[in-house]
């Protein structure tokens, strides 16, 4: 053994010792805080913010003795990144949007639903057994929404019934710069793809890129904003043309009845936020007990009124109590045909393309 080797091995040893002590230290850190044995009456939900009516949560706690603890995410991307990381273990229930279920199932991040412990027969059949999760092996629908457009008809000069209308309206002088697109790449590229009669679930990257190029040209001229945050700027007229879901539209129109909402053709997005159970969920009994409670008619109606999105209960529209403002809008407006709409399915091969285009759209706006 030469002197050189000796030094090297000593360095390795030191490195190993350092890593070891760091491990021991960090392990001590985590153990003291999070690793303790979980109580039986616990339920850890990772969900969108304000996504469960407080009345439901309170009633469930009274009935079961379980207090659900809810932590929140801002996007499916955040949920996905979290589930994929060390910080993602320990959740009992998550609420991803439809398209991500396939990806989670294929990566083994979620477990199969035990249908013997749940009764889905009260739910709307049109929301069950869809392409992203055949036979609802991994998911149970919670509520659904649509990708549509909120607009000021005076500013855009008429009605918007197709995505081509939307693109044309954006080029008008009073509309440029007062537009809001979605924060998600596929929802924005989808606009161009649908206007051209294409499918956003295509695996052909050149089709996606062509749609992306069309949007990039459009964005360069029309200078939209992107944050999908609150509807205040739409209400006060700073934004006159915005991609939004129906719940936001309902809030905006309640404050400014001159605004209109439409789901442009030939097709648009239907998303279904769905319950899914992470692979190693520690409190399975609590999960099923909570799901059974949430699927009761009373809870479904309460959540619908709280959220402004319709839950999955069959015949929900007829079961809502009278006197709710703009009740049509909760269901996306009168005359929306769900069978004509399309649901995005996350594909690891095309996601980076959509993300890249979205980044470029931001840069060009």
Partner 1 sequence: MTRLRSTRAALGVVCALGLAVLYLPLLLSVLYSFNQGIDGRQTARLTGWSLRAYADAWQDDSLRSAALTGLQVALVVAAVSGLLGSAWGYAMVRHASARVRRALAGLGYLLVIMPEVVLAVSLLQFAGRLGVPLGFLTLAAAHTPMTMVVVALIVRARVLTLDRRLEDAGRDLGASELRILGDIVVPALLPAVLTGTVLAFTFSFDDVVISAFLTTPSVSTLPVYLYSSLNYGTAPAVYAATTAVLALTIVVLGIAGLLHRATTVT
Partner 2 sequence: MPHLLAAAPGLWLTAVFVAPLLLTVALSFAHPGFGDVTFGFTLDNYRTALGGLYAQTFVQTVVLAVGCGALSVLLAMPIAYFIARHAGRFAGALLAAILLPYFSSFLIRVLSWQVILASGGPVDSVLHALGLLHAPLDLIGTRAAVVIGIVYGYLPIAVLPQYVVFSRIPRSTTDAAADLGAGAWRRFTSVVLPLARPGVATAALLTAVPMLGELVVPQLLGGGRGLLLGQLLQTQYVQSQNYALGSAIAVLILVAVGVLVALLLRLTRGFDEAPR
Which of 354, 171, 169, 364 lies closest to 264, judged by CA?
169
Position 258 contacts partner 1 (CB under 8 A):
no
Residue 217: CB minimum distance to partner 1, A: 27
In this complex, which beta carbon is closest to partner 1, that of residue 43 or of residue 208? 43
Helix (H) or strand (E) holding 151: strand 148-151
One residue of 202, 225, 306, 327 binding partner 1 per CB under 8 A: 306
- Ranges of H-type helices in the chain: 3-33, 54-64, 76-83, 99-106, 153-156, 163-170, 185-195, 205-222, 232-235, 246-255, 284-294, 297-307, 316-319, 327-330, 351-364
What are the backbone dihedrals phi and psi of residue 145, each rounded to the nearest 5 degrees, phi first?
-150, 175
Q: Smallest distance from the beta carbon of 34 to partner 1, in angstroms?
A: 2
Q: Which residue number, 211 or 224, has a Cβ lying nearer to partner 1? A: 224
237 binds partner 1 (CB under 8 A): no
Range list of H helices, 122-201: 153-156, 163-170, 185-195
Tell me how far apart the alpha carbons of residues 129 and 198 are, in angstroms, rounded to a whole number.
24
Would strands 42-48 and 93-94 be described as parallel, antiparallel, or unpaired? parallel
Is 124 a residue that touches partner 2 (CB under 8 A)?
no
* Binding window for partner 1 (CB under 8 A); candidates: 28-36, 100-108, 195-203, 213-221: 28-36
- Separation CA 196–CA 274 (nearest Å): 30
Q: Is 359 in the site for partner 1 (CB under 8 A)?
A: no
49 touches partner 2 (CB under 8 A): no
Give SS3 for 245.
Answer: coil
- In 3D space, the residue among 218, 266, 227, 267 whose CA is nearest the CA of residue 248 turns out to be 227
Residue of 9, 21, 71, 220 interacting with partner 1 (CB under 8 A): 71
How many Cα atoms within 13 Å fall on the side-chain side of residue 141?
A: 28
Nearest distance, CB of residue 211 and partner 1, angstroms: 24
| Among 52, 100, 166, 226, interactor with partner 2 by CB under 8 A | 226
Q: How many residues bind partner 2 (CB under 8 A)?
A: 40
Nearer Cβ to partner 1, position 6 or 27? Answer: 27
Q: Which is nearer to partner 1, 142 or 216 (CB)?
A: 142
Give yes or no for a cis peptide into 266 (omega within 30° of 0). yes
Applying CB under 8 A, which of residues 9, 12, 21, 23 lies at the interface with partner 1? Answer: 23
Residue 39 binds: one of partner 2, partner 1, none (C-beta under 5 to 8 A by kind): none
CA distance 261 to 291: 33
Window 150-179: residues binding partner 1 (CB under 8 A): none
For position 360 contacting partner 2 by CB under 8 A, the verdict is yes
| Residue 226 site contact among partner 1, partner 2, none (CB < 5 to 8 Å, cut-off depends on kind) | partner 2
28 binds partner 2 (CB under 8 A): no
Residue 41 binds to partner 1 (criterion: CB under 8 A): no
The answer to whether the beta carbons of residues 99 and 346 sit under 8 Å apart is: yes
Per rule CB under 8 A, is residue 363 in the interface with partner 2? yes
Residues linked to residue 43 through DSSP beta bridges, in sequence order: 68
What distance in Å separates the CA atoms of residue 322 and residue 87, rounded to the nearest whole number?
A: 44
* 3-state DSSP of 42-97: EEEEEEECCCCCHHHHHHHHHHHCCEEEEEEECCHHHHHHHHCCHHHCCCCEECCE
Does 18 sit near partner 2 (CB under 8 A)?
yes
Query: Residue 310 binds which entry of partner 1, partner 2, none, with Cβ cut-offs from 5 to 8 Å by kind?
Result: none
Residues binding partner 2 (CB under 8 A): 18-19, 21-22, 25-26, 75, 77-78, 80-81, 84, 107, 177, 180, 183, 185, 223-227, 229-230, 232-233, 236-238, 348, 351-352, 355-356, 358-360, 362-363, 365
Residues binding partner 1 (CB under 8 A): 19, 22-23, 26-35, 44, 46, 48-50, 54, 57-58, 67-75, 78, 85-87, 89-92, 183, 227-232, 235-236, 247-248, 250-251, 254-255, 306, 308
């Amino acid at each position: 053994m030469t002197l050189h080797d000796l030094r090297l091995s000593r360095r390795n040893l030191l490195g190993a010792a350092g890593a070891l002590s760091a491990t021991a230290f960090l392990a001590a850190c985590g153990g003291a805080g999070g690793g303790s044995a979980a109580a039986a009456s616990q339920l850890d939900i990772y969900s969108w913010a304000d996504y469960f009516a407080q009345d439901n949560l309170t009633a469930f706690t009274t009935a079961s003795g379980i207090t659900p603890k809810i932590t929140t995410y801002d996007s499916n991307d955040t949920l996905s990144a979290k589930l994929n990381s060390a910080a993602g273990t320990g959740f009992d229930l998550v609420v991803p949007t439809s398209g991500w279920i396939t990806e989670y199932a294929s990566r083994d991040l979620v477990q199969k639903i035990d249908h013997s412990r749940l009764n889905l027969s009260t739910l709307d059949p049109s929301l069950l057994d869809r392409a992203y999760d055949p036979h609802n092996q991994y998911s149970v629908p919670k509520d659904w929404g649509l990708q549509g457009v909120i607009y000021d008809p005076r500013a855009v000069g008429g009605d918007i019934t197709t995505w081509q209308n939307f693109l044309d309206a954006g080029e008008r002088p009073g509309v440029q710069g007062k537009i809001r697109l979605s924060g998600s790449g596929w929802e924005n590229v989808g606009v161009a793809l649908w206007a051209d009669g294409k499918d956003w679930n295509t695996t052909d990257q050149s089709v996606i890129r062509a749609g992306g190029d069309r949007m990039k040209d459009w964005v360069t001229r029309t200078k939209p904003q992107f944050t999908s945050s609150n509807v205040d700027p739409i209400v006060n007229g700073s934004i006159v043309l915005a991609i939004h879901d129906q719940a936001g539209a309902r809030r905006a129109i309640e404050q400014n009845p001159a605004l209109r909402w439409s789901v442009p053709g030939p097709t648009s997005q239907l998303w279904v936020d769905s319950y899914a159970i992470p692979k190693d969920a520690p409190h399975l009994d609590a999960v099923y007990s909570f799901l059974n409670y949430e699927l009761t008619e009373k809870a479904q109606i309460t959540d619908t009124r709280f959220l402004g999105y319709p839950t999955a209960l069959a015949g929900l529209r007829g079961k809502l109590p009278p006197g709710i403002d703009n009740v049509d809008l909760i269901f996306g407006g009168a005359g929306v045909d769900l069978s004509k709409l399309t649901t995005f399915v996350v594909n690891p091969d095309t996601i980076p393309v959509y993300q890249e285009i979205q980044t470029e759209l931001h840069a060009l706006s």
